[in-house]
Amino acid sequence: MTENQTPVLSVRDYSLDYRVGSERLSVLKNINLTIGRGEILGLVGESGSGKSSMASAIMRYLAPNAVENAGTIHLGSTDLRSQSARQLADLRGRRISMVFQDPSTSLNPTLKLGEQLTEVLIRHQGLSRAQAWKAGEERLAHVGLKFPVEMMHRLPHEVSGGEKQRVVIATAFACNPELIIFDEPTTALDVITSRQILDLFAQLQAETGVASLYISHDLAIVARTAGRVAVLQKGEIVEEGETEPLFRAPKHPYTRALIGAVPRPERRLLKGDPPQAEPLVRVRDVSVNYGRRSLLDSLLRRDFTPVIGNRAVTLDIKPGEVLGIVGESGSGKSTLAKAMTGLNRFDGLIEFDGRPIRGLGDMDRAYRREVQIIFQHPDASLNPRQRISEILVRPLKLYGGREGVPVQRQIEEMLDRVRLPASYIDRFPHQLSGGEKQRVAIARAFLSSPRLVICDEITSALDVSVQASVIELLMDLHQQTGVAYIFITHDINLVRQIAHRIAVMYRGDLVEVVPTQAITSPDRAPYTRELVAAVTPPASLTPTA
Amino acid sequence: MTDFLRRLLMTPQGLLGSIIVVLVLFAAVTGGWFAPHDPDAMAALARYKPPGGEYLLGTDQYGRDILSRILSGARSTVTMALLATVLGTLLGAVVGTASAYLGGRWDEFIMRTIDAVMAIPSLLLALLVVSLLGAGGANALLAVAVAFMPGMARITRAVALTVRKQDYVSAAIARGEGSGYIVLREMLPNVVAPIVVELTIRVSFAVMLFATLSFLGLGAQPPAADWGLMVSEARQYLHRSPWILIWPSAIIAVTAIGFNLLGDGLRDALNPRT
């Protein structure tokens, strides 16, 4: 720290509970934090660790059922807890500001970007509308937007996610605040965009010397951005220190486990070589278009341009192979998965084990049994009104399970294989944790003894440590059953651990399919190289013994 | 379940609505058991009695005890209203969910048809059905159910559309489940909460719609002790003895308000987050 006077933010012995019914749920316990001028403190923790509650407590924007203890929160020499609502409104935006996770929900969809940016300037700096508009244009140019004058007049839906987040960041920096809280600012963005946002953040941070609290669950990103890191577990800071030494030699077992769970491309989890056999599935020129021509359009002979989901995708999957598909959101990864499972109409041909499938009508019961899909959000893919037993009995009822074994036995055995206790059979999904729910979804897919399982971003809604255990389970099942996987993800580090080959997709096109070892080679397609370069390598997290 | 009941009874409208509805349902179930007199017994010497004395709420133009008639009338009026609403809701819910599930042209076709039906006022539609099928209790029930169906279908479809996008429905389609299973087992249970709320509120409309039909002479027929019919018959004696008219009107109003309040309470209790 360059200056020794009072830190910008200091939190002392702060605890926070939530009142839920008649019980009290403790979210933060005895938190002590300080951030000096120009410093970036990374706050790392899994979901439910209290990261976001900490941000709300500092912003003084707590839920009505929050109960605080006597601890203090100071911004400079101002005691934030004793401020009136009016004083706080004056503080927010001027002295503290915040950047949220999802720019598409933190911007008002009905206001122009310029109006949202100038509002802060007019309110806190007393500028006139015209002055603020001019200042706003400068600020947008400063955050690297190419056409700031035009950008001021656009509505949020007219610009991309990365541009929106730049506007949010410009707004946060607008009044030169003392402290900015970043709550997972890149989680909702694509790999390449989030890399650009991180670079912008580093640049602005260096220029303005603002103190930042950077909240994230992504250890690799925190290791790259923050000078100091605090690790939060179940509302307690278990370890805090300078980033490098902390990640090199973590002391607390929780930190060690967390770092150990981060996917490392060098550490292959997939054993064995890619199988040499005739392909199980041949996807030939499969195209998916969204939208349909309305009756009126065809009557009036108006032109109709459908939205393209996939453009003539061709690829093969061999029996027992693990094929990773990577790409940004909107690149058509999930669209392909949906076409292969009969959730989307498609043009082209899918050949499964020699049987040609040209449309939804050709997908008979046998095909549906052999090709299973697991979705991203286990909360959404398990019907909340059905018990686990009903969820798991469906594949057995539809396709018939093993002969002569009672249905109950088969379900219990499957629960055991996905490492869940048999007693879960009578539970409802909401009584299970996220990782457990995803295990139930995996069990449902495997109960039909499939030959191809499509995993659509199945770990991206899970915490790192849970993700690691789910991946381990998938790899075990792969070993046991010899099933082929299509593993769709945006996490390139993860896919490099588990895939035989990786397919790269960009805006509906298949860019290339390459063996995993060759993904970093310099003679890859330009887009692939850009994508791989944008990934934050976990190399900064040196493995520990 | 107990947690749900506690939340329901915590809100003033939920508490008041529950009390009224329980009382009304109690009257409907026990019917005339607690009635002090035979609801159909005429007494030539006790016509047009004001409330008080032997006849707690007074007597009507034939000297029949109004309290007894209201108590025994609860059975037909409330049961009919409940049955008609449940029938209309069930039909509407299935149509709405199926429409949301099918989507595309089918959805368009079903919903535009429903829009056309909704353009006819529900009383007029009920009148149409009754005049086609003939006056009488069962036909009135059917008329009210038909009149309620389009509105329920529309509400259900709105909720079902969000359920349709959930992955568990996609998962069921990908498994190759039949349409019937998906609509009835996967989707319908998840749209039930808003439907229940709407159902309770609609019961109050049904009570009034039945009363109106009876009032117009198209529902229950005399000498049945039906609330709407009682109002209709009392109209002629309004100046001689207003009580004959006031009591059944008041009880219709209270029942309608009771179900309405219960509906409001349920809405809050079923969505604890809002």
Domain coordinates of chain B in residue numbers? 2-270
Task: Provide the total of helices (H) and of strands (E) in chain A, helices listed first.
Answer: 21, 21
pLDDT one-digit tens code per residue, B141-164? 888 898 889 999 999 999 999 888
Mean pLDDT for chain A?
87
ipTM: 0.78
- Show Cβ contacts of residue A95 under 8 Å, excluding neighbours closer than 6 positions: A75, A76, A78, A177, A178, A179
Question: B202-223 burial, b if ≥16 CB within 10 A, otherwise e?
Answer: bbbbbbbbbbbbbbeebbbeee
Closest partner CB to A385 (pick from B173, B177, B189): B189
Scan for tokens 């791989």, then name that residue: A532
Q: According to the model, what pLDDT value does residue A375 have?
A: 92
Of A434, A457, A450, give the one whose Cα is nearest residue A338: A457
Q: How far is A536 from chain B (nearest CA, A)?
A: 31
- CA–CA separation, B107 and B36 (whole Å): 55
Reduced to 3 states (helix: H, G, I; strand: E, B; else coil), residue A460 is coil
pLDDT over 80 (residue A108): yes
Is B174 within 8 Å of A448 when comparing Cβ atoms? no
**Mutation test of the interface with chain A: which of B170, B182, B196, choosing the one with the most A Cβ atoms within 10 A?**
B170
Contact in structure between B152 and B92 (CB atoms under 8 Å)? yes
CATH superfamily of B2-270: MetI-like (1.10.3720.10)
Is the distance from CB of A161 to CB of A190 less than 8 angstroms?
A: yes
Query: What is the CATH code of the structural domain delimited by A320-344+360-540?
Result: 3.40.50.300
Residue A383: pLDDT over 80: yes
Q: Which residues of B touch A444 (CB under 8 A)?
A: 171
User: What is the b/e burial string over A460-479, where b = at least 16 CB atoms within 10 angstroms of the residue's CB?
Assistant: ebbbbbbbbbbbebbbebbe
Q: Do A343 and B189 touch (CB under 8 A)?
A: no
Asked whether residue A95 carries a pLDDT value surpassing 50, the answer given is yes
CATH code that applies to domain A9-261: 3.40.50.300
Sign of CA dihedral A283, A287, A291, A292: negative
**What span, in angstroms and rounded, lies between the C-alpha atoms of A537 and B99?**
49
Check for a shared fold between A9-261 and A320-344+360-540: yes
- What pLDDT, in 10s, does the model give residues B239-254? 888 888 888 889 888 9
Report, as ranges of residue numbers, the positions in chain B whose pLDDT lies below 70. Answer: 1, 32, 271-274
Chain B hits for A383, CB-CB cut-off 8 Å, are 168, 186, 189-190
Q: Length of chain B, please?
A: 274
Contacts of A429 in chain B (CB under 8 A): none
Coil, strand, or helix at residue B124?
Answer: helix
Q: In the structure encoding, which two tokens stand for residue A147, read together? A: 């056409």
List the one residue out of A149, A150, A128, A153 whose CA is nearest residue A137: A149
Q: Which residue's structure tokens are 């005049």? A: B131
- Integer Cα distance of A128 and A257 in angstroms: 53
What one-character-per-residue DSSP string does A46-81 give?
A: -TTSSHHHHHHHHHT---TTEEE-S-EEEETTEEGG
Q: What is the Cα–Cα distance from A211 to A79, expressed in whole angstroms?
A: 17
Query: Where do the DSSP E strands lie in B3-85?
Result: none
Strands A211-216 and A281-290: unpaired
Q: Is A71 left (phi over 0), alpha (psi -120 to 50) or beta?
A: beta
Query: Considering the entire predicted model, what is its pTM?
Result: 0.79
**Cβ pair A383:B167 closer than 8 A:** no
What is the H or E stretch that residue A352 is in? strand A347-352
Query: pLDDT for A289-338, tens place per residue?
Result: 887 777 777 777 777 777 788 888 899 999 989 999 998 877 888 889 99
Cα(A117)–Cα(A30) distance, integer angstroms? 36
Contact A380 B104 (CB under 8 A): no
pLDDT in the model for residue A543? 46
Residue B187: which of B163, B207, B208, B151 has the closest Cα?
B163
E runs forming strands in A277-321: 281-290, 307-317
Q: Are A333 and A325 in contact (CB under 8 A)?
A: yes
Per domain, the residue ranges of chain A are 9-261, 320-344+360-540
- Give the pLDDT confidence score for residue B272 in this predicted structure: 52
